[in-house]
């Protein structure tokens, strides 16, 4: 975390102590995951707790409330607003299989979407690519198309535009459910033969 105050530490969310060197107010922390959207951090100085921080993420993933409790002081509440693509990265990442009962055309696809923590995602399916949600063109492998462009509509929606020979050939919209367990792909495109295709596929997280 950088700004007027700079904090830098790495910890596992299992409640065990981790060192936090270089911080003036504390030198150890205990990070504990409460549930999917809440965490608690105990800041310690030489083994004594000096502050307890409760982090809570709103359901839409765009706002984080941080409440710091220090003995003898009023609670300090800070609200953070998310910027960029990190929420969608978390929701979309994972391995998904098709719900064949709700699929009309392509059958038996398995998708694997990996996030590397730097804003890039790797997509592995009937083609593969590495791209960012920045509206720029990225090369495709094992695909009838040449490039793909990814943009976030909101934390649960990704729009993809595919091009071949600099011409738009396909547009996809990925919609992930609130719990991140189901993805719906709506696609429209033009085959090499000129035939127009409209398709909707449903995937479930494994």
Residue 52's pLDDT band (cuts 50, 70, 90):
very high
Q: Which of 111, 137, 140 is nearest to 124 (CA)?
A: 111
* Domain presence at residue 6: no
Are 65 and 114 part of one and the same domain? no
| Residue range 60-114, pLDDT digits in tens | 667 778 898 988 888 888 887 765 444 444 455 565 555 555 544 444 455 667 7
Please say which residue of 30, 61, 81 terminates a domain: 81
- Tokens 């994972």, residue? 94
Whether the per-residue pLDDT at 54 is higher than 60: the answer is yes
Are 45 and 108 part of one and the same domain? no
Please say which residue of 35, 54, 81 terminates a domain: 81
pTM, entire model: 0.49
Are 35 and 137 part of one and the same domain? no
Are 148 and 123 part of one and the same domain? yes
- Residue-number span of the structural domain to which 187 is assigned: 86-205
| Residue range 134-170, pLDDT digits in tens | 888 999 888 888 999 988 877 788 899 999 898 898 8
Whether the per-residue pLDDT at 206 is higher than 70: the answer is no
Please say which residue of 81, 105, 133 terminates a domain: 81
Residue 117's pLDDT band (cuts 50, 70, 90):
low
Are 94 and 35 part of one and the same domain? no
Are 101 and 159 part of one and the same domain? yes
Are 59 and 146 part of one and the same domain? no
Are 159 and 200 part of one and the same domain? yes
Query: 178 - beta bridge partners?
Result: none
Query: 50 - beta bridge partners?
Result: none
Report the domain count for the chain. 2
The pLDDT score that the predictor gives to residue 86 is 45
Q: Which of 88, 61, 63, 104 is nearest to 160 (CA)?
A: 88
CA dist 67 → 49, 57, 59, 77, 145 (Å): 15, 12, 17, 4, 48
Are 99 and 177 part of one and the same domain? yes
Are 71 and 95 part of one and the same domain? no
CA dist 22 → 5, 19, 136 (Å): 12, 10, 38
């Amino acid at each position: 975390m950088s700004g007027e105050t700079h904090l830098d530490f790495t910890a596992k969310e299992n409640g065990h102590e981790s060192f936090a060197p270089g911080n003036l107010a504390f030198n150890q922390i205990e990070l504990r995951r409460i549930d999917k959207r809440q965490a608690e951090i105990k800041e310690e100085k030489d083994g004594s707790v000096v502050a307890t921080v409760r982090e809570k993420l709103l359901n839409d993933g765009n706002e984080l409330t941080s409440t710091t409790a220090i003995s003898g002081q009023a609670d300090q509440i800070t609200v953070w607003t998310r910027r960029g693509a990190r929420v969608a990265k978390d929701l979309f990442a994972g391995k998904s299989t098709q719900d064949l009962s709700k699929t009309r055309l392509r059958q038996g696809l398995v998708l694997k979407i990996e996030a590397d923590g730097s804003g890039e995602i790797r997509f592995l399916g009937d083609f593969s690519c590495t791209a960012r949600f920045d509206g720029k063109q990225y090369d495709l492998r094992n695909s009838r198309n040449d490039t793909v462009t990814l943009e976030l509509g909101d934390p649960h929606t990704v729009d993809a535009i595919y091009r071949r020979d600099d011409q738009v050939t396909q547009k996809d919209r990925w919609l992930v459910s609130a719990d991140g367990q189901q993805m719906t792909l709506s696609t429209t495109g033009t085959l090499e033969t000129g035939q127009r295709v409209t398709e909707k596929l449903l995937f479930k997280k494994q």
